[in-house]
A and B are shown apart, each in its own frame.
Chain A
Amino acid sequence: MTISGLGPHGERAAPPERVTLLPEDKAAANARGFRVAVVLHTLESDWARQQLSGIVGILGDCGTAVTHVIDCGFSPSAQVKALDGLLAQRPDAVISLPVANQEVALAHARLAEAGIKLVLLDNAPTGLLPGTHYGTLVSADNFGLGLIAAEGLSPYLPQGSEVGLLGYAADFFATNEREIAFTQWMQTRRPDVILRQDAFGRIDEATRRTEAMLAAHPDLAGLFVVWDTPALKAAEVLRSHPLPIPMATVDLGEEAAIGLAQGTPFAIIAAQQPYLQGVAAAQTTILTLLGRLTPAWIALPGIAVTRANVVESFQRIWRNPAPQSVLKAVGLID
């Protein structure tokens, strides 16, 4: 396993194998009958659904009830309200994806103060410490995902061309890492390429920001958007552009996979493994509840997906057959 990035506190990554559950762990958890709440940024994306599936399945194996599944709709205030509401419900543990940095840090800290175990997904707000406020952060190697996107997009960028980077305006560990890594790779490996950057605050702004970027830089030769849901909005804009503009993004959602298989506009997708990440998060939660030592940061490597390996990558990531439209687009069925 190669992990390129460092954790939110500069930690070196531990592999997910570090939280493998032994039969005696499962037996102990089953005997205790824990209650766990899951607080996600959204439940609307393929990524979130797969992650939840991994979490719920493993917790079920361990006799642990998932009592709440909360969709924060990317809203820091909704997340603070949800977490404060959970204080009264007193679950044994909360698995949470903090949707922002400073705005949600104290609400997460209040869970720890109340004795509720906390496992974080993808983001650790500044000031929260492993072992003090939360047990473990489970995330993809987001720095590595940004490097995969840059390296995969590079062959499509002519010498001296311009490349766009559409980032996320929120201060969020995962997207920050992808953005920094993409920029670093371009600056060191393709210094001839000129970076044009912009950011969206909400997903529905991605269309407008892409249009603005194209208007300001009509010669754009490629675009990286930090995850797939806003990337689909950007792709709609690029499809109406007179010249093809290849794109890179993160997460192999179904629609992005179809776009990749069709060869336009997606050229490369740096994929996370959300189901396995959910599994690792649930295993970590069980070990934390049993009082076992867990690493501060568990990271799962990214997968470089191109048109050439989109079918097997889809199967590997989603544990489902690739959609018919993907199979047709790559010529595996008529």
Chain B
Amino acid sequence: MAQDLIEISGLARGKGRPRVAETAAPSLVELLNLIRADDPTTRQELERKSELGRAVVSDRLTMLADLGLIDESELGTATGGRAPRLVRLAAKQGRVLVATLDQSALGVGVADLSGKLLTEHHEAFELTAPPQALAERLTTLLRWSLERQTSPEGLWGISLSVPGTVPGSAGDFLTRTPAVLPAWEGFPLVEMLTRSFAAPVWMRSSVDTMTMGELHGGAGQGLGSMLFIKIGRRIGAGIVSDGRLFRGAQGATGLIGALPVHLGDRAGTLDAMAGSDMILREGRLAAETGRSAFLADHLRRGGEITAIDVAQAAQMGDAACVEILTTSGRLIGQVVATLTNTLNPELIVLSGSIVQTNDIILAAVREAVYGASHPLVTRDLRIVRSQMGSSAGLVGAARVGAELLFTPEFLKDWVMQGSPLKHPGFAAFRAGLDLAPPPPAPSPPPSRGMR
């Protein structure tokens, strides 16, 4: 029946009452999102929550099943009568490619439509490289990830985590590349990915995606309020309230690295006074002056000192490096204490390579937050180090991709076609790209034709 309705919907509409297929989209969108939110659920639950009649729910579920968007093959537990049939999102119907672009690393993965990460890979990559090189490596790795999937499901979208604010709060797919980094100005990364993979592209800041990842796959699971602090060259905060990521008016929340801080008679932004550039600079100085025996030895052996080396030296007990990290942690802690008193979170998660290498920053932040917060705020507060590493960005990007595919505004325009690739706006965008002159093509991916 659903197939008939779809075909009818393509015909020119006459006068009179709208056809069922034309009015079905809103209820399909509502039911599909209820199923996603409460996966798995039952028909009875859907009738109760949607307040739609039994016949309408039954009809819409048949349509969704025919479109391949839900799965009703499993039975639940009987509570007296017949066992209810469970209704699930058909999460394997499509795939979402995800990627994290950090200052010094690139991560890629594949997720299903529920936002579950299925596979991931991370490698070193300097984001200061020309954008063409980034696009080529990203395309190669994304294609490799997709080809590793043994099942034939199609690609439905690409979700990117990038090291900067992505303006805009709408859920629309991107039709041009936002200038997240100065080098990206005028470079058609989004257009190239859309051409190469024929799928819509979304982008969020790494702080946003990592916060989402920690909320749905890490320490924040099941919590309503959380503060996520990412510590690297830049220091940013992700805010979760009522179980949702708060993105503000322009998607530019949590830019705490720009706040001024003081250390003795020195003043500067939190980024400059406590970020990894400071840790690296002070570490090098400690090595050159011999204050850090560990780093001085590393330098003598021809090693190049990185901020991670400073953090590892601190973990191994090097006093000068412990002092550098403690200073960083205290400054970050002062700012986090202000946020904590403002937001009263249940959990604060610290993340970033330097934090993950040792416990010193964690200890310093804890000391500063507990020392400067109202007792009520800290009574049940937990402050932890993320266990997810860069996976948080990939898990979060997967979650963002899955949510944006099913936002009512986007979903209503493709649900009747059964695939977001048939969304009229996206189809028009792709057609426009095909007419436009091609951008400089990335190198062809390695042939895997025999696989």
Q: Which residues of A contact B (CB under 8 A)?
A: 4-12, 14, 18, 101-102, 126-127, 129-132, 143, 165, 169, 171, 176-177, 180-181, 183-184, 187, 191, 194-199, 209, 212-213, 216, 293, 295-296
Do A180 and B353 touch (CB < 8 A)?
no
Q: Which of A9, A18, A198, A199 is B391 in contact with, Cβ under 8 Å?
A: A9
Q: A12-B308, A12-B357, A296-B356 are in contact. Are A129 and B122 (CB under 8 A)?
A: no
Q: Which residues of B contact A (CB under 8 A)?
A: 100, 102, 105, 107, 109, 116-124, 137, 140-141, 144, 148, 150, 217-218, 308, 312, 315-316, 353, 356-357, 359, 387-391, 443, 446-448, 450-451
Q: Which residues of B sit under 8 angstroms from A209, Cβ to Cβ? A: 450
Interface contacts beyond A8-B120, A131-B387, A212-B450: sample of 6 additional A-B pairs, CB < 8 Å, sorted by A? A12-B308, A12-B357, A143-B123, A184-B140, A187-B446, A296-B356
Q: Which of B119, B122, B124, B450 is A9 in contact with, Cβ under 8 Å?
A: B122
A7→B121 CA distance, assembly (Å): 8
Nearest to A11 among chain B residues (CB) is B389
Do B124 and A4 touch (CB < 8 A)?
yes
A129→B359 CA distance, assembly (Å): 18
A123→B202 CA distance, assembly (Å): 30
Do B391 and A129 touch (CB < 8 A)?
yes
A82→B141 CA distance, assembly (Å): 34
Q: Which residues of B sit under 8 angstroms from A169, Cβ to Cβ? A: 150, 451
Q: Which of A9, A180, A195 is B388 in contact with, Cβ under 8 Å?
A: A9
A180→B138 CA distance, assembly (Å): 12
Q: Which residues of B sit under 8 angstroms from A198, Cβ to Cβ? A: 448, 450-451
Do A195 and B447 touch (CB < 8 A)?
yes
Do A171 and B144 touch (CB < 8 A)?
no
Q: Which residues of B sit under 8 angstroms from A213, Cβ to Cβ? A: 450
Cβ distance A292 to chain B, nearest Cβ, rounded Å: 12
Q: Which residues of A sit under 8 angstroms from B218, Cβ to Cβ? A: 129
Q: Which residues of A sit under 8 angstroms from B141, Cβ to Cβ? A: 180
Q: Which of B117, B123, B451 is A126 in contact with, Cβ under 8 Å?
A: B117
Q: A129-B387, A180-B144, A293-B359 are in contact. Are A187 and B443 (CB under 8 A)?
A: yes
Do A296 and B389 touch (CB < 8 A)?
yes
Q: A10-B107, A129-B391 are in contact. Are A191 and B443 (CB under 8 A)?
A: yes
Do B121 and A180 touch (CB < 8 A)?
yes
Q: Which of A11, A126, A196, A212 is B447 in contact with, Cβ under 8 Å?
A: A196
A296→B359 CA distance, assembly (Å): 13
Give me the 7 closest cross-chain CB pairs, A-B, nearest first. A10-B390, A9-B389, A10-B122, A131-B387, A9-B391, A6-B122, A195-B446
Do B451 and A176 touch (CB < 8 A)?
no
Q: Which residues of A sit under 8 angstroms from B388, Cβ to Cβ? A: 9, 129
Do B123 and A180 touch (CB < 8 A)?
yes
A8→B118 CA distance, assembly (Å): 13
Q: Which residues of B sit under 8 angstroms from A295, Cβ to Cβ? A: 357
Q: Which residues of A sit under 8 angstroms from B448, Cβ to Cβ? A: 197-198
Nearest to B117 among chain A residues (CB) is A126
Cβ distance A147 to chain B, nearest Cβ, rounded Å: 11
A102→B91 CA distance, assembly (Å): 15
Q: Which residues of A sit under 8 angstroms from B356, Cβ to Cβ? A: 11, 296
A-B pairs with beta carbons under 8 Å apart, 28 shown: A5-B123, A6-B390, A9-B120, A9-B389, A9-B391, A10-B102, A10-B391, A11-B356, A12-B308, A12-B357, A126-B117, A126-B118, A127-B117, A129-B218, A129-B391, A130-B389, A171-B119, A180-B141, A183-B144, A184-B123, A187-B443, A187-B446, A195-B446, A198-B448, A213-B450, A216-B450, A296-B356, A296-B387
